[in-house]
Chains A and B, each alone.
Chain A
Amino acid sequence: MSNFNRRQFIKTSSAIAAASALPFPMINIRTAGAQANTVKVGILHSLTGTIAIAEKSVVDAEQLAIEELNKAGGVSGHKIEAVVEDGASDWPTFAEKARKLIEKDKVAAVFGCYTSASRKAVLPVFEKSKGLLYYPTYYEGLEQSPNIMYTAQEASQSVIAAMDWLMKNKGKTFYMIGSDYIWPRTTIKIAKAVLAKGGGKLVGEDYYPLGHIEFSSAINKIKGAKPDVILNCVVGGSNVAFFKQLTAAGITGKNQTVLSLAVSEEEVSGIGADNTVDTLTCMGYFQSLKNPANEKFVKSFKAKYGANRGVGDTLECGYISVHLWKMAAEKAKSFDVEKVVAASSNLEIDAPEGKVKFHAANHHLWKHARIGTFQPDGQVNMIYESPLIEPNPFPKL
Chain B
Amino acid sequence: MNLDMMAMQAFTGLSIFTILTLMALGLAIVFGLMGVINMAHGELMAMGAYTTYFTSLFFAKFLPGLFGIYFLVGIVLAFFVTFAFGWILERGLIRFLYKRPLDTMLATWGLSLILQQLYRQFINAKEVEVTTVSWLKGAWQVTEGVSLPLSRLFIIGLAVVTAIAVYMFLYRTRWGLRIRAVTQNRPMAGAAGINTERVDAFTFALGCGLAGIAGSSFTMLASTGPTTGQAYIVDTFIVVVFGGVESLLGTIASAFMIGQMQSWFEYSMSGSMARASILLLVIVVLYFRPNGLFATKVRRA
Interface residues of A (CB under 8 A from B): 1-3, 5, 48, 50, 52-53, 56-57, 180, 205-209, 211-214, 216-218, 220-221, 223-224, 237, 239-241, 244-245, 247-250, 266, 269-274
Contacts and interface: CB of A to CB of B under 8 A. Distances in A.
Contact of A266 (B5, B9, B126, B220): B126
A396 B149 CA distance: 43
A216 B230 contact: no
B151 A218 contact: no
A237 B132 CA distance: 17
Contact of A220 (B129, B220, B224, B267): B267
B150 interface: yes
A53 B139 contact: no
Contacts of B15: 216
Given A52-B120, A53-B225, A218-B266, 9 more contacts: A48-B117, A208-B271, A208-B275, A213-B232, A244-B151, A244-B220, A269-B127, A270-B224, A270-B225
Contact of B125 (A56, A211, A212): A56
19 contacts: A1-B105, A2-B39, A2-B230, A53-B120, A57-B125, A207-B270, A209-B272, A212-B275, A214-B266, A216-B15, A216-B263, A217-B271, A223-B5, A223-B8, A224-B1, A237-B223, A239-B223, A269-B126, A270-B126
Question: By CB atoms of chain A within 10 A, which of B16, B127, B225, B271 has the most?
Answer: B271
Contacts of B128: 270
A271 B129 contact: yes
Contacts of B137: 247-248
B147 A249 contact: yes
A206 B271 contact: yes
B234 interface: yes
Interface in B221-246: 221-228, 230-234, 237
A216 B271 CA distance: 11
Interface string B115-129: 001001000011111
A345 B300 CA distance: 74
Nearest to A5: B109
Contacts of B120: 48, 52-53
A249 B227 contact: no
B55 interface: no
A58 to B, nearest CB: 11
Nearest to B141: A250
B187 interface: no
A314 to B, nearest CB: 13
A249 B221 CA distance: 11
Interface of B: 1, 5, 8-9, 12, 15-16, 19, 37, 39, 105, 109, 112, 117, 120, 125-132, 137-139, 147, 149-152, 218, 220-228, 230-234, 237, 262-263, 266-267, 270-272, 274-275
Given A3-B234, A48-B117, A248-B151, A213 B222 contact: yes
Given A3-B234, A237-B225, A207 B132 contact: no
Contacts of A221: 267
Contact of A217 (B37, B231, B267): B267
Contacts of A240: 127, 222-224
Contacts of A247: 137
B9 A217 contact: yes
Contacts of B1: 224
A254 B200 CA distance: 53
B152 A53 contact: no
List 3 tightest A-B contacts by C-beta distance, closest first.
Answer: A270-B127, A240-B223, A208-B271
Given A248-B138, A249-B139, A271-B129, A50 B227 contact: yes
A320 to B, nearest CB: 22
B12 A217 contact: yes
A224 B5 CA distance: 7
Contact of A207 (B5, B152, B271): B271
B149 A206 contact: no
Nearest to B127: A270
A2 B112 contact: yes
Contact of B129 (A56, A57, A245, A272): A272
A2 B233 contact: yes
Question: By CB atoms of chain A within 10 A, which of B1, B117, B224, B225 has the most?
Answer: B225
B222 A244 contact: yes
Contacts of A208: 270-272, 275
A286 to B, nearest CB: 18
B272 to A, nearest CB: 4
Given A1-B39, A216-B16, A271-B129, A245 B223 contact: no
A240 B128 CA distance: 10
A208 B265 CA distance: 12
Contacts of A50: 227, 230
Nearest to B275: A209
Question: By CB atoms of chain B within 10 A, which of A209, A220, A269, A271 has the most?
Answer: A220
Contact of B127 (A2, A53, A212): A53
B263 A217 contact: yes
A239 B129 CA distance: 12
Contacts of B218: 213
Given A2-B39, A53-B225, A249 B266 contact: no
Contact of B266 (A217, A224, A241, A248): A217
Contacts of A57: 125-126
B245 to A, nearest CB: 14
A244 B266 contact: no
A248 B150 contact: yes
Nearest to A46: B125
Given A53-B227, A213-B222, A240-B222, A180 B272 contact: yes
Nearest to A48: B117
B12 A220 contact: yes
Contacts of B125: 52-53, 56-57
A269 B117 CA distance: 20
B131 to A, nearest CB: 7
Nearest to A52: B125
Nearest to A245: B221
Nearest to B128: A270
A78 B126 CA distance: 35
Contacts of B231: 211-213, 237
